[in-house]
Amino acid sequence: MAPRQKVEKRMDAEGVKYTEAEFLDYYGKKKGAKLWDAAGEKAEAPKAKAKAKVKAKAKPKAKESKPRKELKVCVCGGAGGIGQPLSLLMAMDSNVSELSVFDLNIAMVPPEGVAADLSHIETKCKVKGYVMEVGKNPIDYTEECLKGCNLVLVPAGLPRKPGQSRDDLFKANAGIAKGIVEACAKHCPDAILALIVNPVNSIVPAMAELYAKKGLNPLNIVGVTTLDCVRANKFVGEITGKNAKFINVPVIGGHAGATILPLFSQDKTAASIDKEKIPDLDKSVQDAGTVVVTAKNGKGSATLSMAYAGARLGSSILAGLQGRRRVECAYVKSDITDLPYFTSKVAFGEKGVAKVLPLGDLSDYEKTRLEEASTALKAEIETGLAYAKENDLA
Ligand code: NAD
Ligand code: LMR
């Protein structure tokens, strides 16, 4: 195994440690650099060797920590292809005290069975399964399941078959998402809803606008696009021979075809790749979902890598809720471009989305691609906005 590279972290005003990139992301380039330097001055006095001393010195500030919150998570569609491994990973997250696994009576495994299975793993998390008869309305069957939830992960919905686009799933999946979102609006209106269900590009605007119409915070609806970042990091790692764990390519725009725009220029390792290779690499990230759909040959789309990616975002959101800010790319209501919904880096804090971060510098290739991505995304957002106009949450 390659030796683990240490990334330097410095303490911010709240006594929490962040990397330089996180300082720059959260505060912006100028202010972030200043605060990073200032944090360094404080930490510099007792140099590297005197580790014990550094710890002793830092203690009074770090000890101001607040008590850890007991957090509850629900996975809707928790007995499905993504739902099962995602439930496992969430039950392993030390921030999760309670986990609800919700699914239909036609799921491949009863959700109570998934919960019974997960309840034997050696974590403090209490897991409970909830089943609903197909065709019923979630709002009437999810009170106990959703009450008190801080985070609801939603992989409930149909996956693609070969030859289908994500867009083809809108009709079926928008109805499924609406039922679940409606139930959350009633039973856990302050929870963060992380929507995995496709087509993310249209479902998220639809559900966020329905939330706003109901007087709830549209920024509580978060589109999960983390898998695009995971793929971009992995592919860059393969080309460069570097460990993907230390590669962090932001992927902006949306989550389908040309709307997926990896910003290779913004990661040090990715930026070292020959410019001529970038268009193919870009295309391989755009097409990665379809490659899995084709390889699964009619039996579904990405489930395991999606669970890994969904758990990464879920854990970051929970860390944010605990007061430890995290930055992840996500598709949310946004005013950083001309489009009302857009994937960019987002800082997650104690109330969920704390700040939608700007795009940063783009290469000439990325600028051209941004135009292409925005044109395609605009049409898919409109589908979602039209749905929200025609519908209401109960
Ligand atoms: P799956 O069919 O294996 O599982 C879906 C589960 O949802 C099933 O168990 C089903 O019973 C359940 N379900 C359906 N309606 C429900 C409802 N009203 N309430 C509760 N549960 C309900 O599918 P999957 O492979 O897990 O994929 C799920 C969704 O995630 C698909 O729409 C897929 O396109 C999407 N997806 C998104 C990404 C992404 O990056 N955002 C990646 C992969 C898959
Ligand atoms: C993915 O990117 O893997 C998902 O959106 C599933 C799909 O349909 O490709």
Could you tell me if residue 113 is inside a domain?
yes
Q: Provide the 3-class DSSP secondary structure of residue 351.
A: coil
Q: Atom 42 (ligand 1): residue with closest C-alpha?
A: 306
Residue 136 included in any domain: yes
**Mean pLDDT along residues 85-89:** 99
pLDDT in tens, 362-394: 999 999 999 999 999 999 999 999 999 999 999
Question: Ligand 1 in contact with 254 (CB < 6 A)?
Answer: no
Q: Which atom of ligand 2 is nearest to the CA of 306?
A: 3
Q: Give yes or no: residues 142 and 266 share one domain.
A: no
Residue that finishes a domain, picked among 209, 225, 241: 225
pLDDT confidence tier of residue 272, bands split at 50, 70 and 90:
very high
If asked whether residues 126 and 190 sit together in one domain, one would say yes
Mutate to test the pocket of ligand 1, among 89, 104, 225, 230 (most ligand atoms within 8 A of CB): 104
Average pLDDT (3-21) is: 69
**How far apart, in Å, are the Cα atoms of 179 and each of 15, 36, 135?**
41, 45, 10
Residues 25 and 102 occupy one common structural domain: no
The number of the ligand 2 atom at minimal distance from the alpha carbon of 160 is 8
Please name every residue paired with 71 in a beta bridge, in sequence order, or none if there are none: 96
If one residue of 225, 306, 343 were mutated to test the ligand 1 pocket, choosing by the most ligand atoms within 8 A of its CB, it would be 306
Domain contains 275: yes
Work out the percent of the chain whose per-residue pLDDT is above 90: 83
Residues 283, 200 share a domain: no
Closest atom of ligand 1 relative to the 156 alpha carbon? 7
- For residues 125 and 31, state if they share a domain: no
Single residue among 225, 244, 279 that ends a domain in this structure: 225
Does the CB atom of residue 79 touch ligand 1 within 6 A?
Answer: yes
Give a yes or no: residue 63 inside a domain: no
Q: For residue 386, is it within any domain?
A: no
Is residue 4 in a domain? Answer: no
Q: Which of 225, 258, 290 is the last residue of a domain?
A: 225
Pick the range with the lowest mean pLDDT from 3-7, 89-93, 191-195, 261-265.
3-7
Q: What is the mean pLDDT of residues 233-253?
A: 98
Q: Are residues 242 and 371 in the same domain?
A: yes
Provide the domain limits for residue 24: 14-40
214 and 99, same structural domain? yes
190 and 212 inside one domain: yes
Confidence of residue 54 (pLDDT cuts 50, 70, 90): very low
Name the residue at shortest CA distance from atom 5 of ligand 2: 289
Distance 277 CA to ligand 2 centre (A): 24
Residues 265 and 185 in one domain: no
What is the value of pTM for the model shown? 0.89
Q: Are residues 82 and 218 both part of a single domain?
A: yes
Give the residue, 34 or 330, on which the prediction is more confident: 330
Which one-letter amino acid corresponds to residue 56? A
Tokens of 162: 């070969």
How far is ligand 1, taken at its centre, from the CA of residue 68, in Å? 31
Q: What is the pLDDT of residue 98?
A: 98
Q: Is 144 exposed, middle or buried (0-12, 13-18, 19+ CB in 10 A)?
A: exposed
CATH number for the domain including 359? 3.90.110.10
Same domain, 303 and 230: yes
Count of the separate structural domains present in the chain = 3
Residues 241 and 201 in one domain: no
Q: Which of 168, 170, 198 has the most ligand 2 atoms within 8 A of CB, as the residue to mutate?
A: 198
In a domain, 25, yes or no: yes
Query: What CATH number is attached to the domain comprising 131?
Result: 3.40.50.720
Binding-site residues, ligand 2, Cβ < 6 A:
160, 166, 198, 227, 289-290, 292-293, 301-302
Residues with a catalytic annotation lie at 255
The answer to whether residue 50 is domain-embedded is no
